[in-house]
Amino acid sequence: MNWKRWFSRPETPRLTPELRARIQSSFDRAAGDEEHFPSTIDPRIYHVKLIRQHLGDLSGKRVLDVGCGKGRFARVFHEQEPEAELWGLDISEEMLRFVPQDIQTRAGSMTELPFETGCFDAAYATESLEHAVEIEKAVSEICRVVKPGGRIAIIDKNAEHWGKLETPEWERWFTRQELERLLARHCRQVSSRFISYWEDVEPDGLFLAWLAVK
Ligand SMILES: C[S@@+](CC[C@H](N)C(=O)[O-])C[C@H]1O[C@@H](n2cnc3c(N)ncnc32)[C@H](O)[C@@H]1O
């Protein structure tokens, strides 16, 4: 028995180059699956409305969609506010091919965002932080690129419902407190709430939204 290993704290998961390549190629392949990874979203869905509400007036603002996939949220926000400058970042170049031309894209990992500190007015991540592996680093990076006073929204799944859906081995879900704590290291206001797809449907606890002001 290796007692030292037995008593030591569990190691923080690492986004090694091998794991990163595996995640990337998994999402590159998934890009062809429009049913499960759609390029559009109904703007009436509460996930869209809540982010929009939290971000406020987007006119003339630079906004980053972190782990944007095919850019379905950014597409809606750009349609609603053509004067906003929308950016989408994703690890999968195949996903990025679907992002509309008027949204700027960058391939990369949210754990090391290829952007200057404080260069966005706002950032949001929908069902993508759960794939970041190095969660603390990703949260810190998202907060870094947003300017003081800027808004941040994260939508992901609730750790208390873990097992409800099939997940790849690197995926992680979060408790309310866990992400609140990470965001609070960088943001002056942080809250979280349960949400469902439709505003008038009682949330079943699967989805959580974390809203922050840096
Ligand atoms: C479930 S999809 C969600 C996409 C999009 N946010 C949406 O709601 O349609 C997860 C996305 O996160 C991306 N992703 C996974 N790990 C990432 C990382 N470390 N950095 C950036 N994007 C990542 C994947 O390529 C994929 O497009």
97 token code pair: 């091919």
| pLDDT (mean) for 43-65 | 98
CA of 67 to the centre of ligand 1 (A): 4
Confirm or reject: Cβ of 110 under 6 Å from ligand 1. Answer: yes
95 Cβ inside 6 Å of ligand 1: yes
Longest Cα–Cα distance of the chain, Å, equals 62
The pTM (predicted TM-score) of the whole model is 0.95
Please classify residue 86 by burial: count the beta carbons closer than 10 Å to its beta carbon, then call 0-12 exposed, 13-18 middle and 19+ buried: buried
Distance, CA 146 to ligand 1 centroid (Å)? 19
> How do residues 141-179 score in pLDDT, each as one tens digit?
999 999 999 999 999 999 999 999 999 999 999 999 999
Q: Is 192 helix (H, G, I), strand (E, B) or coil?
A: strand
User: Percent of the chain scored above 70 by pLDDT?
Assistant: 95
pLDDT band, residue 12 (cuts 50/70/90): confident
Judged against a pLDDT cut of 80, whether residue 73 lies above it is answered with yes
CA of 197 to the centre of ligand 1 (A): 19
150 phi and psi angles, rounded to 5 deg: -75, 165
First to last CA, the chain: 47
Measured CA to CA in angstroms, residue 83 lies from 60, 61, 80, 86, 122 at distances of: 5, 8, 9, 9, 14
**Ligand 1 midpoint to CA 79 (Å):** 21
Dihedral over alpha carbons 132, 136, 137, 142 (to 10 degrees): 80
Which of 111, 128, 155, 195 maximizes ligand 1 atoms within 8 Å of its Cβ, making it the mutation to test the pocket?
128
Average pLDDT over residues 128-133: 98
Q: Give the nearest ligand 1 atom to 67 CA.
A: 22
C-alpha 105/C-alpha 108 separation (Å) is 10
Which domains are delineated in the chain?
41-213 (3.40.50.150)
- CB of 90 closer than 6 angstroms to any ligand 1 atom: yes
